[in-house]
């Protein structure tokens, strides 16, 4: 790789991408259509978790005490600072491992960069950001793959390990379970405001803090038998990922909109009309499975469908285990973790109070 002049102007990373963060995900409806008939027809007895329930990672049993957990996640820039972009993408990729209750072992980098457009020191900063988060998680980036791409893309393929008896799927929730959300919502709305130069410095710092906070509680929650199901909230928004939990568990859910934690300033931005295009695509994909028991404003709907980049864990737990679950979140710095509702009898529908 030849050196580039340090005087080369550095473009805004977000200006090089048509979308950013988990808002880049293909909408749930389109994805379901693309995957029709794509599931493997041959059963694999040791594949404990595959693609059948839209879970966060694949799980393959090695023996009675060990299973490998594997996932990949990558996207285009959600911010302009290259180091922060790398940190956010790496944190988001690791989240799928924690959402299964597993411990990460190593990562491989996925890198697509416009080599003739971005200064090479900028690309190096993206890679350093990812490395810093993996170091925080106690794992190496042991290799990877890179291509010359029109848009900047960065992420990780992560491998973890877990006791097969402790796997936390998104499809094992039980009737009456309480729903706990680990992080407040609003990353997509803040990022949309950022792109319009409407985000102040304090709100930007909050966005960086939440998107680079590792979902470490997942590893401890794995040991609690009363935690029945777990997932992380990302590009399909809270409602989309909760619907996946409902479908997999053959249950419904009821959430209290006023109890859903929000990042500072998100409600005001949503009420002013700031939202992502992915939010509307999400609603068009699954809105028919959502029933509002009271009139729901456009801003509230935008928040509940808002694509979260590196969002929080969504936990379904027995009510008797709520104090233990809350204590784990609190001890690891998730001070806004909140009970937002419960699982109920029914199938594949969310009721919003």
Closest C-alpha to 56, from 19, 110, 101: 101
Predicted confidence at residue 4, as pLDDT, reads: 41
11 burial class (0-12, 13-18, 19+ CB within 10 angstroms)? middle
Q: What gap in Å lies between CA 102 and CA 162, rounded to an integer?
A: 5
Predicted confidence at residue 241, as pLDDT, reads: 97
pLDDT in tens, 233-267: 999 999 999 999 999 999 999 999 999 999 999 99
Closest C-alpha to 126, from 104, 105, 149: 149
Which residues lie below 8 Å from residue 152, measured CB to CB, with a gap of 6+? 13, 16, 17, 76, 77, 85, 112, 113, 114, 118, 126
Check whether 293 has a pLDDT greater than 80. yes
Question: Phi, psi (5° rounding) for residue 33?
Answer: -65, -40
- The percent of the chain in helix, strand and coil, each rounded to the nearest 5, is 40, 20, 40
pLDDT in tens, 211-238: 999 999 999 999 999 999 999 999 999 9
226 burial class (0-12, 13-18, 19+ CB within 10 angstroms)? middle
Q: What gap in Å lies between CA 179 and CA 298, rounded to an integer?
A: 24
Strand partners, 351: 254, 291
Strand partners, 158: 71, 107
pLDDT in tens, 159-209: 999 999 999 999 999 999 999 999 999 999 999 999 999 999 999 999 999
pLDDT in tens, 295-327: 999 999 999 999 999 999 999 999 999 999 999
% of the chain residues with pLDDT over 70: 91
pLDDT mean across residues, the chain: 92
Crossing angle (nearest 10°) for helices 277-286 and 237-249: 30
Report H helices in the chain: 28-34, 82-99, 120-137, 187-195, 201-211, 217-221, 237-249, 266-271, 277-286, 298-304, 322-331
Residue owning tokens 């792109």: 195
Predicted confidence at residue 36, as pLDDT, reads: 65
Contact 18, 134 (CB under 8 A): no
Q: What gap in Å lies between CA 77 and CA 28, rounded to an integer?
A: 21
Predicted confidence at residue 53, as pLDDT, reads: 80
pLDDT in tens, 27-71: 666 766 766 666 555 678 999 999 888 899 999 999 999 999 999
Identify the DSSP state of 257: G
Contact 159, 104 (CB under 8 A): yes
201 burial class (0-12, 13-18, 19+ CB within 10 angstroms)? exposed
Check whether 7 has a pLDDT greater than 50. no
Q: What gap in Å lies between CA 208 and CA 187, rounded to an integer?
A: 9
Predicted confidence at residue 29, as pLDDT, reads: 65
Predicted confidence at residue 15, as pLDDT, reads: 74
Q: Given 22, 24, 134, 317, which residue is catalytic?
A: 22
Region of residue 257 (left: phi > 0; alpha: psi -120 to 50; beta: else): alpha
Task: Judge whether 22 counts as a catalytic residue.
Answer: yes
Q: Which of 19-23, 113-117, 126-130 has the lowest mean pLDDT?
A: 19-23
pLDDT in tens, 116-158: 999 999 999 999 999 999 999 999 999 999 999 999 999 999 9
Burial per residue of 128-151, b for 16 or more beta-carbon CB atoms within 10 angstroms, e otherwise: ebbbebbeebebebeebeeeeeeb
Predicted confidence at residue 56, as pLDDT, reads: 92
Residue owning tokens 């699982």: 343
């Amino acid at each position: 790789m030849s050196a580039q002049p340090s005087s080369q102007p550095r473009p805004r990373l977000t200006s090089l991408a048509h979308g950013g963060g988990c808002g880049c995900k293909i909408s749930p409806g389109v994805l379901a259509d693309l995957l029709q008939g794509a599931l493997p027809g041959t059963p694999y007895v040791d594949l404990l978790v595959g693609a059948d329930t839209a879970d966060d990672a694949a799980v393959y049993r090695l023996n009675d005490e060990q299973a490998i957990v594997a996932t990949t996640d990558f996207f285009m820039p959600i911010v302009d600072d290259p180091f922060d972009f790398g940190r956010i993408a790496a944190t988001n990729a690791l989240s799928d491992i924690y959402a299964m209750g597993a411990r990460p072992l190593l990562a491989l980098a996925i890198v697509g960069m416009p080599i003739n457009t971005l200064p090479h020191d900028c690309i190096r900063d993206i890679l350093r950001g990812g490395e810093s988060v993996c170091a925080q998680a106690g794992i190496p980036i042991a290799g990877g793959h890179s291509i010359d791409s029109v848009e900047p893309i960065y992420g990780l393929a992560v491998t973890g390990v877990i006791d097969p008896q402790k796997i936390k799927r998104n499809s094992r929730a039980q009737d009456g379970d309480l729903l706990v959300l680990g992080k407040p919502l609003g990353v997509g709305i803040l990022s949309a405001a950022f792109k319009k130069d409407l985000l102040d410095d304090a709100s930007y710092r909050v966005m960086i803090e939440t998107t680079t906070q590792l979902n470490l509680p997942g590893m401890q929650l794995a040991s609690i038998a009363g935690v029945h199901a777990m997932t992380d909230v990302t590009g399909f928004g809270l409602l989309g990922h909760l619907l996946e939990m409902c479908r997999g568990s053959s249950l419904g859910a009821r959430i209290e909109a006023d109890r859903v934690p929000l990042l500072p300033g998100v409600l005001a931005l949503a009420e002013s009309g700031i939202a992502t295009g992915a939010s509307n695509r999400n609603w068009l994909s699954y809105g028919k499975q959502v029933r509002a028991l009271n009139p729901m404003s456009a801003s509230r709907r935008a928040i509940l469908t808002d694509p979260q980049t590196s969002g929080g864990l969504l936990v379904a737990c027995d009510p008797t285990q709520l104090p233990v679950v809350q204590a784990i979140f609190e001890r690891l710095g998730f001070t806004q973790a909140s009970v937002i509702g419960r699982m109920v009898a029914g199938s594949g529908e969310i009721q919003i109070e």
